[in-house]
């Protein structure tokens, strides 16, 4: 299976030790776990707290993952506000055997279509790997502009869009308007609807917690089979507090990571209760 045909990408958490340092032993286990299932792996996105880590930490994570020589594609998150810093980050990533990049709409500045187009073109021009643009207005503050997409169509590195706008009707409109690129669901909760609309796959938070189960659901959904509501209902529990706080809490409870520590401004104490997460875990066991 080629990189651009990978149906499920896990937006991997970054496990940390109790003292807040990156837990590379746990990271190794999680990477092997995802690869064993056949999932693609997205490193240092928002679920991986990429914006909260230092440059040295991010570089060490990429180098570590690449040294493992996994039988799985690695996609690296790219996003921020300072273009020069992002180009420096990409220059480093280009020295590593990564497979693809996830380029998020610039944060905080809320750029218009021309600003977005020029930003993304600068990033696309700087790399030699397929790129997935990421539309998540709830985090970035602005939607990915259609005019920017239209202007970038045909760029050899523009492969796909991760659509996390929370509106299946909008997903359908965008896919219809730009069939030349792959459209991935960026929201576990809406995957069933996106699959019916012709999604190429899913970039998932839930597959951190339930790697094989989510992979099975995605395969069924993309094959046109009914998948029920289990992914929607269980994924909702992973967003009862800012992500990835609930995901880390449940994985810590499962004893798959040594601590539920996050990097500020994220804080484990912002999760009021583990109860909805435990109920979700039991729901998968009963599925």
Question: Would residue 175 show up in a list of annotated catalytic residues for this protein?
Answer: no
User: Alpha helices, DSSP H only, in the chain?
Assistant: 24-37, 55-67, 83-93, 113-125, 137-140, 146-152, 168-177, 191-196, 211-222, 230-237, 245-253, 275-286
H or E stretch covering 270: none
Tokens of 80: 């921020």
Catalytic residue among 101, 110, 129, 162: 162
Q: Is 99 exposed, middle or buried (0-12, 13-18, 19+ CB in 10 A)?
A: middle
Nearest to 228 by CA among 262, 195, 250: 195
| Token pair 């099975």: residue | 216
Q: What residues pair up with 140 in beta bridges, in sequence order?
A: none
Q: Are 205 and 245 in contact (CB under 8 A)?
A: no
Catalytic residue among 129, 134, 184, 248: 134
Q: Is 169 exposed, middle or buried (0-12, 13-18, 19+ CB in 10 A)?
A: exposed
Please count the other Cβ atoms lying within 10 Å of the Cβ belonging to residue 51.
17
What whole-number distance in Å separates Cα of residue 72 and Cα of residue 55? 24
Q: Are 184 and 201 in contact (CB under 8 A)?
A: yes
Question: Would residue 134 show up in a list of annotated catalytic residues for this protein?
Answer: yes
* Residues marked as catalytic: 134, 162
């Amino acid at each position: 299976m080629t990189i651009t045909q990978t149906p499920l990408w896990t937006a991997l958490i970054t496990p940390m030790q109790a003292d807040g340092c990156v837990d590379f032993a746990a990271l190794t286990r999680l990477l092997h776990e995802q690869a064993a299932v056949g999932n693609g792996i997205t490193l240092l996105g928002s679920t991986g707290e990429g914006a909260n880590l230092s440059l040295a930490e991010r570089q060490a994570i990429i180098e570590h993952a690449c040294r493992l020589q996994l039988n799985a594609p690695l996609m690296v998150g790219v996003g921020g506000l300072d273009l020069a810093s992002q180009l420096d980050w990409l220059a480093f990533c280009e020295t590593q055997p990564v497979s693809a990049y996830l380029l998020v709409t610039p944060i905080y500045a809320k750029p218009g279509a021309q600003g977005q187009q020029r930003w993304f073109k600068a990033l696309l021009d700087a790399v030699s790997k397929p790129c997935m643009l990421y539309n998540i207005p709830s985090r970035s503050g602005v939607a990915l502009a259609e005019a920017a997409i239209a202007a970038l169509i045909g760029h050899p590195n523009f492969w796909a869009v991760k659509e996390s706008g929370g509106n299946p009707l909008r997903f359908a409109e965008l896919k219809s308007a730009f069939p030349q690129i792959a459209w991935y669901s960026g929201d576990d909760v809406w995957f069933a609807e996106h699959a019916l609309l012709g999604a190429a796959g899913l970039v998932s938070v839930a597959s951190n917690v339930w790697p094989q189960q989510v992979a099975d659901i995605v395969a069924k959904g993309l094959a046109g089979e009914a998948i029920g509501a289990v992914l929607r209902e269980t994924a909702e529990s992973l967003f009862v507090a800012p992500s990835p706080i609930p995901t880390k809490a449940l994985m810590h409870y499962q004893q798959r990571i040594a601590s539920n520590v996050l990097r500020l401004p994220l804080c484990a104490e912002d999760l009021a209760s583990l109860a909805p997460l435990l109920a979700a875990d039991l729901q998968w066991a009963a599925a």
